[in-house]
């Protein structure tokens, strides 16, 4: 490549660094602090950096999709008739009212998010309990069956009436927004409940507020646009059979969430296959078996696209499970194993993990199946796994006390002399590249 750029004296040394180092020629390496610095950065997740934007965008779109459920739809004419009476006041004032309306709606929902996040410490701990996981999954399936049309979920009618009364002035508009959230709740409940549980799992009130505020903005945006341009209402497609299809779509999303929740309880191949089965069934029903029609032409392509999307997702899940390469070779913990590793001058990594812990599974599925990690670990490191799925093993209890392990996952790194490198200790998911850096630091001492 350098040749094509016009450089005359281009060489390649095929033996490279290892031969150079063996010959005892001058080498250098980055200082330890520099090598470690990037490893200290926060582990990337759905809520950091750019991924955060995408997550919020998805939530925003989800909020907009909520407008298609049958219970929000009747609220659209209510909204428009409320705002339609004000069209004499001029555009600017109408926009002001629309914004207040949106704000009221967003606040009602955001309070739910903050409450969920504040109880998050409790809910986070509970979420790792198999009984709770099953209960949440059962609740999600129950709501899904409501969306499939097996039973009806509704608020007491008195509350609905009181909330839809007209009020005047800016405060009235704001109050309309606040109450709309309450009125729509029976229908939004199924979708928002899953999100609530997720927000509780995050355990941050600020994130909880942000997530639900974004959701409400998505939910309210079409209403806001309608409020401002309220003259064009007759162009909306009429509520009909296609609404039932949208409900089914939401129902399948909930069933998928239920399958996601019970994942940690299922043994490894089954968990992914369960998700794949849900995606497959959803794709077949929504895209091909469902016979609902609509007067507008966009419906059929949308239906086919959703069906095909779900089928592709199912294929992806099954395929990535079936075609996954070999993983790291783990050995069970024993004192002799550590003694042998120390005698051979090999570093050791001890992984305290459990089947029900999500970051442990992520580590296992991504990092410990990464080809570079598998190769390096197989050659240079003794990998030891302590499986804490079932508690009460006295040997394990002693180990936990000896290394001061507070939870799972915990990865303990022992240098070739058998001493722990506490600065490298890991208690969360770490991507393969960062893990390789740690192994490298471990080897350097």
Partner 1 sequence: MRNKTSVMLAAVAVLATVAALWLTSRAVTPKTATWEDVVAEAEAGGYRLINTEELAGLYGRDAAGLLLVDTRQDWEYRAGHIAGAVNFPMEPTAWSRWQKKGEIAEMLGPDKARTLVFY
Contact between 296 and partner 1 per CB under 8 A: no
| 389 φ, ψ (degrees, to nearest 5) | -55, -45
Residue pair 383/329 in contact by the 8 Å Cβ criterion: yes
Query: What minimum distance in Å lies between the beta carbon of 167 and partner 1?
Result: 48
Query: What minimum distance in Å lies between the beta carbon of 444 and partner 1?
Result: 7
Span 14-43, contacts to partner 1 by CB under 8 A: 14-17, 19-21, 23, 25-30, 34-35
Q: Which residue's structure tokens are 């600017």?
A: 92
Contact between 168 and partner 1 per CB under 8 A: no
Among the listed residues 92, 267, 326, 392, the single contact to partner 1 using CB under 8 A: 326
Query: What minimum distance in Å lies between the beta carbon of 292 and partner 1?
Result: 13
Question: Which of 313/354 has CB closer to partner 1?
Answer: 313
| Pure H helices in 119-168 | 120-126, 130-147, 157-164
Q: Give the side-chain half-sphere CA count within 13 A for 213.
A: 9
| Pure H helices in 203-345 | 205-228, 241-262, 268-284, 299-322, 335-344
Contact between 433 and partner 1 per CB under 8 A: yes
Question: Which of 113/283 has CB closer to partner 1?
Answer: 283
Q: Which residue's structure tokens are 């949106």?
A: 102
d(CA 429, CA 209): 25
**Which pair of tokens denotes residue 26?**
């001058």
Residue pair 360/428 in contact by the 8 Å Cβ criterion: no
| Pure H helices in 66-153 | 75-84, 91-118, 120-126, 130-147
Question: 357-376 mask for partner 1 (x: CB under 8 A)?
Answer: --------------x-----
Question: Which of 295/440 has CB closer to partner 1?
Answer: 440
d(CA 313, CA 298): 23
**Which pair of tokens denotes residue 166?**
């007209």
Query: What minimum distance in Å lies between the beta carbon of 14 and partner 1?
Result: 5
Among the listed residues 166, 320, 331, 445, the single contact to partner 1 using CB under 8 A: 320
**Which pair of tokens denotes residue 124?**
């986070």
Cis check: omega of the bond before 22, within 30 degrees of 0 = no
Among the listed residues 61, 161, 440, 445, the single contact to partner 1 using CB under 8 A: 440
Question: Which of 37/402 has CB closer to partner 1?
Answer: 37
How does DSSP assign 400-415, residue by residue? HHHHT--SSSEEEEE-
Query: What minimum distance in Å lies between the beta carbon of 302 and partner 1?
Result: 11
d(CA 293, CA 303): 10
Query: What minimum distance in Å lies between the beta carbon of 149 and partner 1?
Result: 23
Among the listed residues 91, 324, 340, 398, the single contact to partner 1 using CB under 8 A: 324
- Pick the closest to residue 56 from 216, 275, 220 (CA basis): 216
Q: Which residue's structure tokens are 């929504």?
A: 286
Query: What minimum distance in Å lies between the beta carbon of 1 and partner 1?
Result: 6
Question: Which of 280/382 has CB closer to partner 1?
Answer: 280
Total interface residues for partner 1 by CB under 8 A: 54
Question: Which of 15/406 has CB closer to partner 1?
Answer: 15
| The one segment of 147-155, 225-233, 324-332, 359-367 that binds partner 1 by CB under 8 A | 324-332
Residue pair 213/106 in contact by the 8 Å Cβ criterion: yes
Question: Which of 278/388 has CB closer to partner 1?
Answer: 278
Query: What minimum distance in Å lies between the beta carbon of 61 and partner 1?
Result: 21
Residues that bind partner 1 (CB under 8 A): 1-17, 19-21, 23, 25-30, 34-35, 283, 287-288, 300, 303-304, 307-308, 311-312, 315-316, 319-320, 323-326, 371, 433, 436-437, 440, 443-444
């Amino acid at each position: 490549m350098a040749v094509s750029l016009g450089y005359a004296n281009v060489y390649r040394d095929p033996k490279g660094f290892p031969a150079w180092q063996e010959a005892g020629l001058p080498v250098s390496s980055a200082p330890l602090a520099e090598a470690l610095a990037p490893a200290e950065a926060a582990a990337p997740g759905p809520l950091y950096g750019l991924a955060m934007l995408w997550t919020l965008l998805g939530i925003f779109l989800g909020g907009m999709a909520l407008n298609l459920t049958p219970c929000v739809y009747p609220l659209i004419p209510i909204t428009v008739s409320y705002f339609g009476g004000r069209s004499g006041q001029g555009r600017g004032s109408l926009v002001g009212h629309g914004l207040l309306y949106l704000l009221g709606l967003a606040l009602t929902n955001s309070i739910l998010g903050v409450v969920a996040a504040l109880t998050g410490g409790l809910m986070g701990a509970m979420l790792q309990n198999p009984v709770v996981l099953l209960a949440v999954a059962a609740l999600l399936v129950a709501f899904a069956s409501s969306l499939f049309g097996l039973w009806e979920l509704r608020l007491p009618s008195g509350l609905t009436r009181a909330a839809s009364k007209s009020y005047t002035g800016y405060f009235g508009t704001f109050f309309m927004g606040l109450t709309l959230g309450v009125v729509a709740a029976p229908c939004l409940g199924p979708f928002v409940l899953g999100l609530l549980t997720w927000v509780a799992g995050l355990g941050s009130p600020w994130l909880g507020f942000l997530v639900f505020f974004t959701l409400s903005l998505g939910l309210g945006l079409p209403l806001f646009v309608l409020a401002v341009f309220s003259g064009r209402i007759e162009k909306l497609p009429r509520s009909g059979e296609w609404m039932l299809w949208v409900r089914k779509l939401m129902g399948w999303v909930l069933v998928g969430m239920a399958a996601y929740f019970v994942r940690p309880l299922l043994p490894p191949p089954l968990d992914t296959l369960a998700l794949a089965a849900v995606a497959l069934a959803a794709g077949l029903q929504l895209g091909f078996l469902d016979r609902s029609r609509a007067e507008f032409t966009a419906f059929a392509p949308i239906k086919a696209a959703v069906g095909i999307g779900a089928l592709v997702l199912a294929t992806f899940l099954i395929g990535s499970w079936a075609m996954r390469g070999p993983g790291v070779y783990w050995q069970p913990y024993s004192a002799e194993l550590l003694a042998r590793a120390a005698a051979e001058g090999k570093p050791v990594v001890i992984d305290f993990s459990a089947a029900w812990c999500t970051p442990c599974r992520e580590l296992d599925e991504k990092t410990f199946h990464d080809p570079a990690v598998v190769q390096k670990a197989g050659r240079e490191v003794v990998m030891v796994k302590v499986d804490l799925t079932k508690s009460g093993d006295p040997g394990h209890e002693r180990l936990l006390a000896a290394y001061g392990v507070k939870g799972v996952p915990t990865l303990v790194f022992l240098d070739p002399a058998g001493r722990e490198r506490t600065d490298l200790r890991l208690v969360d998911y770490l991507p393969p590249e960062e893990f390789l850096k740690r192994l490298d630091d471990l080897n350097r001492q």
